[in-house]
């Protein structure tokens, strides 16, 4: 297959690279510790610069602050952002699903109040879906929303809420009808994160980074004007959004950058390969796998542009990309050895500024977040291969 459409965006690709060079801090190096206030400030600043070019919400209609970009242009943007480890729109939950949902289901007042702020990079949103007992089986969520006059009163707990400690607004799924079948009786809300009764507590991951949080609701009052869509139809609203580029290219672009860096480490430190010459073959395998994954992502974008809903194909890409991330990190540790397990070192003996240790630990969650590998394999088996459910 020839991806001629992608090649047509060569000038745009270079424009994105120039933009990143001019707007991303030189010491950024793929930082991801959301507990760092400087990180949060630089991220907001970068998003604002994207918004000024209508790139933050580039796929949105022009009347909502976008540029109606097609799938290929979005892929080029996402590919470059991931390769350079920049905080692109894919890290902005307001762009990914809040804005699209408001465009589809929001009232005129909600659209006027929130959509332009999201597209303008002025507001940081977090998503409150998962609960201690409702992760992959999200329809089992139990956080309650009880009608009381002009408000709903929220009680319950959410978990794994990325960026809640920096967020201005929250996007919440709560149960409004406890007697309805579990896929029904759920309603979508938006709320100010500074509302009385909202408590955010940090969750420190195994890489000693703070990006996740627990969020507790104790008699939190949300006005009915902040219900999005139909009451008790929230599950179906969650599942529908505008048709953006979701090829998984970010995993493969980031993986390509990592393989290139590891290969350079091997060239600069021949003692590593002398000690473990078989790593040459591992690096070659990872390089090939990155190319295979890139072509999987390109194919999905091609299908989307043809109007095809790439369902199981997206699961193939997600599964392959997340497991490849683990293989790349493991190859890095095999190459570097014990020094690769250090987070950083002032004596210069830790290659890649200690990023490999963080990547290795974070890669564990890659096969869990956004749908576990088991769920992806089930989708591929039933929807892709037509196998019966067991």
Any idea what the CATH number is for the domain that residue 194 is in? 2.40.110.10
CA torsion 109-111-113-118 (nearest 10°) is: 170
Which H or E run includes 93? helix 93-93
Q: At which residue do the structure tokens 């493969």 appear? A: 252
Q: Would the pLDDT of 34 be above 60?
A: no
Mean of pLDDT values over 272-289:
96
The predicted pLDDT at position 290 comes to: 98
8-state DSSP, 78: H
Residues 100 and 146 in one domain: no
Percent of the chain with pLDDT over 90: 65
Residues 262 and 372 in one domain: yes
Distance CA(21)–CA(325), nearest Å, equals 25
Among candidates 211, 113, 95, 107, which has minimal Cα distance to 159? Answer: 211
Q: Tell me the three state secondary structure of residue 324.
A: helix
Domain boundary among 57, 89, 119: 119
Domain boundary among 61, 91, 119: 119
Distance CA(90)–CA(269), nearest Å, equals 35
Q: Would the pLDDT of 370 be above 80?
A: no
Residues 254 and 307 in one domain: yes
Q: Tell me the three state secondary structure of residue 211.
A: strand
Residues 193 and 304 in one domain: no
Which tens digit of pLDDT belongs to each residue from 292-324? Answer: 999 999 999 999 888 888 889 999 999 999 999
- Of the two residues 35 and 81, the one the predictor is more confident about is 81
The token pair that represents 350 in the structure block: 């830790």
Residues 262 and 137 in one domain: no
Neighbour tally for 260: CB within 10 Å: 14
Which tens digit of pLDDT belongs to each residue from 219-273? Answer: 999 999 999 999 999 988 887 766 566 788 999 999 999 999 999 999 999 999 9
The CA-CA-CA angle for residues 322, 328, 333, to 5°, reads: 130
Residues 307 and 202 in one domain: no
Among candidates 154, 150, 151, 152, which has minimal Cα distance to 141? Answer: 154
Q: Is residue 244 part of a domain?
A: no
Q: Tell me the three state secondary structure of residue 141.
A: coil
Q: Is residue 150 part of a domain?
A: yes
Residues 264 and 375 in one domain: yes
The token pair that represents 302 in the structure block: 């091609």
Domain boundary among 177, 207, 238: 238
Contact 330, 341 (CB under 8 A): no
Residues 183 and 208 in one domain: yes
Q: Where are the alpha helices (DSSP H) in the chain?
A: 4-7, 10-23, 37-52, 71-83, 93, 99-105, 108-110, 116-119, 234-238, 249-268, 270-275, 279-305, 312-336, 355-366, 373-379
Q: Does 245 qualify as catalytic in the annotation?
A: yes
Between β-strands 198-204 and 151-158, what pairing exists: parallel, antiparallel or unpaired? Answer: unpaired
Q: Tell me the three state secondary structure of residue 124.
A: coil
Q: Does the global pTM surpass 0.85?
A: yes
Domain span at residue 12 reads 4-119
Residues 301 and 335 in one domain: yes
Point out the catalytic residue in the list 245, 261, 289, 313: 245
Give the up-direction half-sphere exposure of residue 256: CA atoms within 13 A in the CB hemisphere.
17
Averaged pLDDT score across all residues of the chain: 90
Number of folded domains that form the chain: 3
Q: Is residue 184 part of a domain?
A: yes
Least confident of 12-16, 78-82, 155-159, 346-350: 346-350
């Amino acid at each position: 297959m020839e991806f001629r459409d992608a090649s047509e965006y060569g000038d745009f690709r270079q424009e994105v690279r120039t933009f990143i060079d001019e707007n991303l801090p030189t010491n950024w190096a793929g930082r991801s510790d959301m507990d760092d206030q400087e990180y949060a400030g630089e991220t907001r600043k970068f998003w604002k610069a994207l918004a000024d070019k209508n790139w933050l919400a580039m796929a949105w209609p022009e009347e909502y602050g976008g540029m109606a970009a097609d799938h290929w242009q979005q892929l080029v943007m996402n590919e470059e952002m991931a390769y350079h480890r920049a905080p692109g729109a894919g890290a902005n939950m307001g762009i990914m699903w809040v804005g699209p949902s408001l465009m589809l289901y929001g009232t005129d007042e909600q659209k006027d109040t929130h959509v332009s702020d999201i597209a303008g990079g002025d507001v940081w949103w977090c998503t409150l879906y998962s609960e201690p007992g409702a992760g992959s089986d999200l329809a089992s969520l139990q956080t309650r929303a009880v009608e009381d006059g002009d408000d709903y009163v929220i009680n319950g707990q959410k978990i794994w809420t990325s960026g809640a400690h920096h967020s201005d607004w929250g996007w919440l799924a709560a149960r409004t009808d406890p007697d309805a079948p579990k896929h029904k009786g759920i309603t979508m809300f938006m709320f100010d994160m500074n509302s009385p009764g909202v408590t955010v507590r940090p969750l420190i991951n195994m890489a000693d980074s703070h990006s996740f949080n627990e969020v507790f609701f104790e008699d939190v009052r949300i006005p009915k004007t902040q219900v999005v869509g139909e009451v008790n139809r929230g599950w179906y609203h969650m599942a529908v959004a505008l048709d953006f580029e979701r090829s998984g290219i970010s995993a493969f672009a980031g993986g390509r950058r990592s393989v290139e860096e590891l290969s350079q480490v091997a060239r600069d430190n021949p003692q590593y390969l002398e000690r473990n010459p078989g790593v040459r073959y591992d690096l070659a395998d990872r390089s090939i796998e990155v190319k295979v994954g890139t072509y999987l992502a390109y194919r999905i974008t091609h299908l989307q542009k043809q109007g095809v809903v790439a369902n199981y194909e997206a699961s193939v890409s997600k599964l392959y990309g997340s497991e490849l991330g683990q293989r790349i990190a493991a190859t890095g540790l095999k190459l570097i050895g014990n020094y690769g397990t250090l987070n950083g070192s002032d004596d210069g003996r830790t290659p890649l500024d200690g990023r490999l240790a963080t990547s290795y630990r974070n890669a564990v969650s890659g096969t869990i977040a956004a749908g576990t590998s088991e769920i992806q394999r089930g989708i591929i088996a039933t929807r892709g291969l037509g196998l019966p459910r067991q």
